[in-house]
Amino acid sequence: MEITSYGGTCLRLKGREGVVAADAYTAHVGPTGRGLTADIVTYSHPDKQVPLGLDGRQLHQRGEGIKVPSSLSSAFLIDGPGEYEVHGVLISGVRTFRDESKGAERGTNTCFVYELDGLRAVHLGDLGHALNEEALGEIGAVHVVCVPLGGALSASHAAEVVAQLEAHLLVPIAANGNFDAELDRFRHEMGVQASEPVGRLSVTISSVPQETTIVVLDPRGRT
């Protein structure tokens, strides 16, 4: 599996089975997609910059500007809980919230688990609370945790969530502009030094670290 960052919480996860773009909001990739190619696009929460229609759905074409392989007419879009198999990629969406008040303050969130190359990676989106037993059971065992920092989830709660998931490979993602400060706090909470930012992370079943490892991705160095 190869993971690259497009800024914010937007990641591209590439495996032999297919390519997933997580949280490819226009704020991160722009109207032209910034060269992002994907078979599948997942969205963890509504885009606050886009108004809702009368049916409660957002008034824009999600996935616009994202390139797809020539064999496909458009990327497959997923924005809610459930179990999916798309182009050979297994995906589970788990309902959570963006605050500690069951969504009363900031709304709902979907954590997505992707199975690529025999690895299971969870993208927590803009999670705002520790996970309950039901959510933990739905997420299951994972090898990689993409954890949001700088949003509603404090560094101490982020460390708590990571401990709940019992994964060793951690990829911090920027829920908002406080990312750098929260990353320092998160490293302190975890007692682990992060790597120097890298353009991309390539990981296989055999290379998953046995000790807790934090890998910071630099969206500017992805190419």
| Lowest mean pLDDT segment, chosen from 14-18, 33-37, 88-92 | 33-37
Widest CA span in the chain:
50
Q: According to the model, what pLDDT value does residue 31 have?
A: 54
CA distance 34 to 118: 28
> Residue range 168-197: average pLDDT?
91
Residue 117 and residue 90 in contact, taking contact as beta carbons nearer than 8 Å = no
CA distance 206 to 190: 24
Q: Catalogue all structural domains in the chain, each as residue range(s) with its CATH number.
A: 2-221 (3.60.15.10)
Q: Give residue 25's pLDDT band: very low, low, confident or very high (50, 70, 90).
A: confident
Q: According to the model, what pLDDT value does residue 28 have?
A: 72
Q: According to the model, what pLDDT value does residue 207 have?
A: 96
> Residue range 185-210: average pLDDT?
93
Q: According to the model, what pLDDT value does residue 3 have?
A: 98
Q: According to the model, what pLDDT value does residue 220 have?
A: 74
Q: According to the model, what pLDDT value does residue 185 have?
A: 95
Q: Tokens 């401990």 appear where?
A: 163
**φ, ψ of residue 85 in degrees (nearest 5):** -130, 110
Residue 56 scores a pLDDT above 60 = no
> Residue range 29-50: average pLDDT?
74
**φ, ψ of residue 173 in degrees (nearest 5):** -130, 150
For the packed helices 179-190 and 155-165, what is the interaxial angle rounded to 10 degrees? 50
Query: How much of the chain, in percent, has pLDDT values that exceed 70?
Result: 84
Enumerate the β-bridge partners of residue 58. Answer: 52
102-142 tens-digit pLDDT: 999 989 999 999 999 999 999 999 999 999 999 999 999 99
Residue 88 scores a pLDDT above 70 = yes
Q: What is the pTM of this model?
A: 0.89
Residue 9 scores a pLDDT above 60 = yes
Q: Give residue 221's pLDDT band: very low, low, confident or very high (50, 70, 90).
A: low
Q: How far is CA 98 from the centre of its chain?
A: 14
Higher pLDDT, 74 or 12: 12
